[in-house]
Amino acid sequence: MKSTIYYFSATGNSLEIARQISKGLDNCTIKSMTSQLPKKPVGGPDEVIGFVFPVYYLDMPLFMEQFVENLNILPGTYCFAITNYARYKGNALGNLEEILQNKNIQLNYADDVKMPGNYIVSYPPPNPDKLKEVLKNSRIKVNNIAKSISNNDEKPVEKSLLSRIFTKHLKFIIFGSISKWDEKFVSDNKCTCCGQCAEVCPVENIEIVNCHPIWQHHCERCLRCIQWCPTEAIQYGKKTVGVKRYHHPNVTVENFIETKD
């Protein structure tokens, strides 16, 4: 049975989950949702299609929603979705299920995994001991998830009416002003003009002008640019000054540059 996992990852959490699940599936391919949308239909009765992604503001990343809406999935496909979150699960899986239902596709298996937080605009990453604990627990849970998916188990989305209502209101507020959100990004005197921030940005929101990054106001708030800057020269106002950066220890920046080809 052929399997394909579509993932999005900013600091490597979702990529590592996708890699771990893929080891338990037959003939599995991992593809980034930042790469080109497949031109032909995917899936079918003898194929597995999975989605692995982080929770952003209690929901899925905005461009991922567009990716799934435009992905042509064949009837009878076994579909699974795994989110990762640091604090709140939100209703990302419920909203994804709704998109798939509108395409007459069933979401057969849905689960979530707690991972280290990486949204350093609001909070620092966990300390080393806590980081090890979270990563250890996540590996255990993902191994169990992989076994369930390989058995074509069914696991419905855990639905919360309060979460659904709150998510819809929050999404309107957050993404209604997203064009102005990246105005607080700056690069300080540690910038070496390497251009890595522009290379890793999943939505090509950064241009290098006169040896400095300039944000183009269609940011997804993933913070790849901040987390992967080799000199930690990028800041979000004063909120990230002196805050330790984070990326998954098993993931390198090259993984994100390669997936944009």
pLDDT digits (tens, 9 = 90+) for 44-83: 999 999 999 999 888 888 889 999 999 999 999 999 999 9
What domains can you pick out in the chain, each with its CATH number?
2-165 (3.40.50.360), 179-258 (3.30.70.20)
**Closest alpha carbon to 197 in 207, 209, 188:** 207
Residues of the chain scoring pLDDT < 50:
none
- The pLDDT score that the predictor gives to residue 138 is 97
d(CA 92, CA 69): 14
Please report how many Cα atoms fall inside a 13 Å half-sphere around the Cα of residue 171, on the Cβ side. Answer: 18
- The pLDDT score that the predictor gives to residue 169 is 61
d(CA 193, CA 31): 29
d(CA 226, CA 240): 9
Provide the 3-class DSSP secondary structure of residue 219: coil
- The pLDDT score that the predictor gives to residue 167 is 61
Exposed/middle/buried for residue 200 (C-beta within 10 Å: 0-12, 13-18, 19+): buried
- The pLDDT score that the predictor gives to residue 131 is 95
List phi, psi (to 5°) of 203. Answer: -120, 20
- The pLDDT score that the predictor gives to residue 181 is 87
The pair of three-digit structure tokens given for residue 114, joined into one six-digit string: 């707690």
d(CA 38, CA 18): 19
